Structure 1
Amino acid sequence: METRSVRLPVPGHDATLEVVRHGSWGRPVLLFPSEAGGAHDAEGNGMLDAVRWLVDEGRVSLFCVDSLDAWSWSNRDLPTEERAQRAGTYGAWLSEQVLPYVVGETGGDQEVVTVGVSLGAYHAVHLTLQRADVAPVAIGLSGNYDPTTWNGWGDLGDATYFANPMGYVAHMEGDHLDWVRSRVSLLLVVGQGPFEESPTRALSSTREFAEVLSHKGIRHELDVWGHDSAHDWPWWHRQLAHHLPRFV
């Protein structure tokens, strides 16, 4: 299995962030780490091994990205609105740097699947809702899709609204909603075990977001695992290995 990496500049920021690619063939899968994680976490935490057979068979080319959470959503010294503004910088990096890179590397023959765990699930789903023209399928594992619940404070404004799937999806209508319905397919997976509710609210948030998607008629699946399924990598391995093959 071939592995290589590249660092791509962040628009409006002096940083570069890493993208690590595993495999040379197959459907591109863009994988987000857990909160404040990095591009090597999938390999270091066993996620790559869980789906390695798909990479080895040429069914998947896995693109693992750095996060910018420590500077944005995870910085509790900042009010929520400023965190959301900073998160927009990360979104610009994904849209303007990462997606074109992935498409260029893979030829654009197959649409991108986004995958994320914990806070990464939010990133995967949010990116698909924003860029369903390129990445119409998202798999969110143990996500919380309402940033206003993330230890926030301060007045909320446009940046928070447009970064909050629970907010903006609930208000979608007209031609844009029709387009999202025609393009987007979301798979929301969550367990009922340790740390899936406290302190993450992943379980309740996932269920609430699925209700919003149902109300709006947006294609999605909700898969709730058992009371032994924890908010942790070993369970995310199993969940991704269970679901990813049918998308590739």
Structure 2
Amino acid sequence: MDEKHIKYYSHHLDRDIEMLVYGNWGYPVLLFPTTLGRYYQAKDMGLIDSVRGLVDSGKYKIYCVDSIDAESWYAKHMNPQYRILNHVQYDKFLTNELVPFIRHECNVGKIGVAGCSFGGFHAANFAFKHPEQVAYMVSMSGAFDIRSFTDGFYDDTVYFNNPVDFMPNEQGWRYGHMKIVLGTSDWDICLASNIRMSNILNTKGIDHWLDIRGWEKHDWPLWNSMFPHYLSRIL
């Protein structure tokens, strides 16, 4: 499997963001790491190897992006207002720099986004905020209410990065083109979060697949079985 290490300079973040890219061609999927994870986490934990056949056959090209969670949502040393503003800069990096680069490189109008656990939040938050840039969204054991990270602080910036808040007020037709997967399991600590998000999408008439698996825990064995299954079905 072809692997490339990239340092992408972001003007919004004023620094290089590191990535690992897998595959020479195929439909692009931007893959977010879990809590405080780095760009190489998906490789180290077997998630990339789980989709090796789909990448080697040219169906997908996977972009494993670095996070800045330690400077945003998990920066407990920082005033919550500034944590959120740091995430806003990360979102601008994705929206204005990285995703247009990926779309151009792969010659597509929209991309796929995916992630496990906190990466599932990132994937859903980006897709729901920017449906014009996303055709496929896969969240595996994600949670969708970010308010526990803001220590009681709440403003429009929190609202527009909190899917359980802003999605009930969105227009469902904006997501009619998007294939959405919410993957969870009976033993998943995020089971209730996925059911809640599914109910919100149902209320808005947004088609999606809520996949609740059997007795498996919120961990990599579950996600390594989910990821190839979902990618094999959504294209």
Q: TM-score, normalised by structure 1?
A: 0.89
Is 1:185 aligned to residue 179 of structure 2? yes
Q: Determine if contact 1:81/1:154 at 8 Å carries over to the other structure.
A: no
- Structure 2 residue 232 is matched with structure 1 residue 245: yes
Name the amino acid aligned to 1:204: A
Q: Which whole-Å CA distance do the structure 2 matches of 1:205 and 1:159 have between them?
A: 21
In structure 2, what is the equivalent of residue 63 of structure 1? Answer: 63
Count of matched residue positions in the alignment of Structure 1 and Structure 2? 235
For 1:26 and 1:13, how far apart are their aligned partners in 2? 28
Shift of 1:189: 0.5
> Which residue matches 2:127?
128
CA-to-aligned-CA distance 1:82-138 (integer Å, 9 cap, x gap)? 322221111111111210121122122x63111101110011111111222221210
Distance in structure 1 (CA, Å) of the matches to 2:224 and 2:128? 24
SS class of match (2:132): coil
Give 1 or 2: higher strand fraction.
Answer: 2
Partner of 1:153: 151
Correspondent of 1:223 among 190, 200, 211:
211
Which amino acid in the other structure matches residue 165 of structure 1?
P
Q: Residues 16-69 of structure 1: CA distance to partner in whole angstroms, max 9, x if unpaired?
A: 211221101111111111111111111111111100000111111111100111
Counterpart of 1:169 in structure 2 is 167
Gapped runs of 5+ residues in structure 2? none
Distance 1:127 1:34 in 2: 15
Q: C-alpha root-mean-square deviation of aligned residues, in Å? A: 1.6
Name the CA distance, whole Å, in 2 between partners of 1:149 and 1:213.
22
Q: Does 1:214 align with 2:213?
A: no
Give the AA of the match of 2:138: I
- 1:205 corresponds in structure 2 to 193
User: Per-residue CA shift, 1:138-191, capped at 9, x if unaligned?
Assistant: 0000111000134x413311110010000000122xxxx154232333110012
Distance 2:143 2:43 in 1: 23
Aligned to 1:78: 78
**Equivalent position of 1:98 in the other structure:** 98
CA distance in 1, matches of 2:147, 2:179: 24
Alignment TM-score, normalising by the size of structure 2? 0.94
Q: Are the equivalent residues in 2 in contact too, given 1:185–1:219 (CA < 8 A)? A: yes
Match of 1:21 in 2: 21
CA contact (8 A) 1:27 1:111 kept: no
Partner of 2:136: 137
% identity of equivalent residues:
29
The answer to whether the 8 Å contact 1:32/1:121 transfers is yes
How far did 1:230 drift?
Answer: 1.2
Residues 123 and 139 in structure 2, CA contact (< 8 A), matched pair in contact too: yes
Change (3 A) 1:12 1:107: closer
Distance 1:204 1:89, change over 3 A: same
